[in-house]
């Protein structure tokens, strides 16, 4: 067979992680993007910088701090233990927590750009037609920025699939729980099983290319730019 059973398991886990992370980030990233796009607060700069941090930080830095923060002596670890969830490292939800932070800018920035490009006028027009703030958001802003959401969703998903450093640091390499495809490839290379490494790596390469190809050739109908 082309891929081994553990490869399939790793791929399935990777897709599950990317899906869950993307869904959570839609819910979490949209209000952040909205706020960043509309606010005149002096906190816009600092918050925007925090959101962008994962773009420039090495995953080893993120992973290391996550491991310490989510450990029994870290603030997050104390919190999760107090809530009876236990410790997050070495669990699927620990990876999700790490990925949400790691992929945050890939969700927030495209959505923020989309919100900003709408401008004030459509929302003001809606307001004069007595649309309430929530109504203005859901009936005007959201449909107009749909292309931004599609881009953000695809980028977030693909970026999470490609995650390596953070899962390596907090994952613990547990089959079916935290051993994602990128870590599996690393294992193959270290164990000198280059044939297996090639096959799984090729799958990820083709996947990434197709995702980006779709993104670059896709022409949003609503976008007038």
Partner 1 sequence: MNPFQLSSAPRTPAALILTLFTGLTPLAANADEAQIAVAANFTAPMKAIIASFEEDTDHTVKASYGSTGKLYAQIKNGAPFEALLAADQKRPKLLEEEDKLGVPGTRFTYAIGTLVLWSADADKVEDGPALLKSGDFNKLSIANPKLAPYGEASIETLEALDLKDTIEPKFVMGENIAQTYQFVDTGNADIGFVALSQVMEGGKIIKGSGWVVPSEMHAPIRQDALILESGKDNPAVTELFSYLKGEKAKAIIHDFGYETD
Binding site for partner 1 (CB under 8 A): 67-68, 70-73, 77, 86-87, 89-90, 168-169, 172-174, 186-187, 189-192
CA-based R_g, the chain, Å: 20
Q: How far is CA 118 from CA 29, 141, 225, in A?
A: 18, 7, 12
Q: How far apart are CA 108 and CA 88, in angstroms?
A: 24
Q: How far apart are CA 172 and CA 166, in angstroms?
A: 11
- Least distance to partner 1, CB of residue 98, Å: 13
- Least distance to partner 1, CB of residue 201, Å: 14
Residues 6+ apart with CB under 8 A from 54: 62, 101, 102, 103, 104, 105
Among 123, 166, 160, 174, residue whose Cα is nearest residue 144: 123
Question: Which C-beta is closer to partner 1: that of 53 or that of 76?
Answer: 76
- Least distance to partner 1, CB of residue 57, Å: 18
Among 147, 123, 132, residue whose Cα is nearest residue 38: 123
- Least distance to partner 1, CB of residue 219, Å: 43
- Least distance to partner 1, CB of residue 14, Å: 17
Question: Which C-beta is closer to partner 1: that of 44 or that of 199?
Answer: 199
Q: How far is CA 121 from CA 34, 78, 117, in A?
A: 16, 47, 11
Question: Which C-beta is closer to partner 1: that of 120 or that of 190?
Answer: 190
Question: Which C-beta is closer to partner 1: that of 48 or that of 172?
Answer: 172
Question: Which C-beta is closer to partner 1: that of 77 or that of 148?
Answer: 77
């Amino acid at each position: 067979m082309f891929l081994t059973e553990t490869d399939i398991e790793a791929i399935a886990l990777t897709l599950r992680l990317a899906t869950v992370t993307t869904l959570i980030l839609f819910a979490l990233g949209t209000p952040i993007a909205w706020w960043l796009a509309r606010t005149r607060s002096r906190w816009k700069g600092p918050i925007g910088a925090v959101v962008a941090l994962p773009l420039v930080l090495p995953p080893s830095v993120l992973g290391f701090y996550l491991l310490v923060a989510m450990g029994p002596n870290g603030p997050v670890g104390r919190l999760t233990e107090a809530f009876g969830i236990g410790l997050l490292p070495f669990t699927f939800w620990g990876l999700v927590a790490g990925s949400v932070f790691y992929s945050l800018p890939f969700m927030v920035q495209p959505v923020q750009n989309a919100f900003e490009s709408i401008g004030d006028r459509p929302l003001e027009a809606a307001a004069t037609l007595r649309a309430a703030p929530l109504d203005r958001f859901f009936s005007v802003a959201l449909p107009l920025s749909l292309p931004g959401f599609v881009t953000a969703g695809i980028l977030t998903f693909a970026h999470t699939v490609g995650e390596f450093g953070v899962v390596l640091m907090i994952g613990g390499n547990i089959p079916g729980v935290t051993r994602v495809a990128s870590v599996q490839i690393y294992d193959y290379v270290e164990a000198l099983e280059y044939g297996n490494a090639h096959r799984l790596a090729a799958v990820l390469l083709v996947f990434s290319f197709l995702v980006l190809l779709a993104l670059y050739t896709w022409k949003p109908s609503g976008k007038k730019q």
